[in-house]
Structure 1
Amino acid sequence: MIDYAFYKRVMEFLARYLGLENEPLYMKVLRYDNVLNGVKVLIAIYRVRTNELITYCAVRFDNTMGKAEPTCNEDREYVERVYGEMT
């Protein structure tokens, strides 16, 4: 289970990364797994007003290095493949 603080941090990070910080968005966490020194998350991001899918993102958070590595694309299969290859 993902806590609200982590969810909020991920959403704010991705909104800034995508240049959408001034737009109402919501995020659906599709997968969440622990990896060596961190976690990886598969996410779908939608516009609140239209319920339109903006993109899928696979993000690996490295706790040791204090960084995140996002890959975002509208092709869900591609992003799922990237997610599967994250270690």
Structure 2
Amino acid sequence: DPGLVSFLAERGVPLEVCPSANVALGASPSLAEHPVDQLLRAGVRITLNTDDPSLFGVTLSEEIHRVATTFGWTQEQVSEVIGNGWKGRFGRR
């Protein structure tokens, strides 16, 4: 929904995304077809996550590598996504 994507981007709402879990559960047909790249390019503050590493067989490092490789992300994009996790945490320390 383009309106929702704009809303998330404009307000800086952090969005936790678990691409491998989404593919495993059938929410996305494949990693290459997952909307994570479109969300990042639209300015949504996404974070990459594993959902459940023991269930889906992927560590956070592997998830980041898979997604970055699939979409050809630059080091700057990877750093942005990692930083979004810190910026989107609950509470201020």
Please give the TM-score of this superposition, normalised by the length of structure 1. Answer: 0.28
**Greater share of helix residues, 1 or 2?**
2
Whose Rg is larger? Answer: 2
Higher relative contact order (CA 8 A, sep 6+): 2
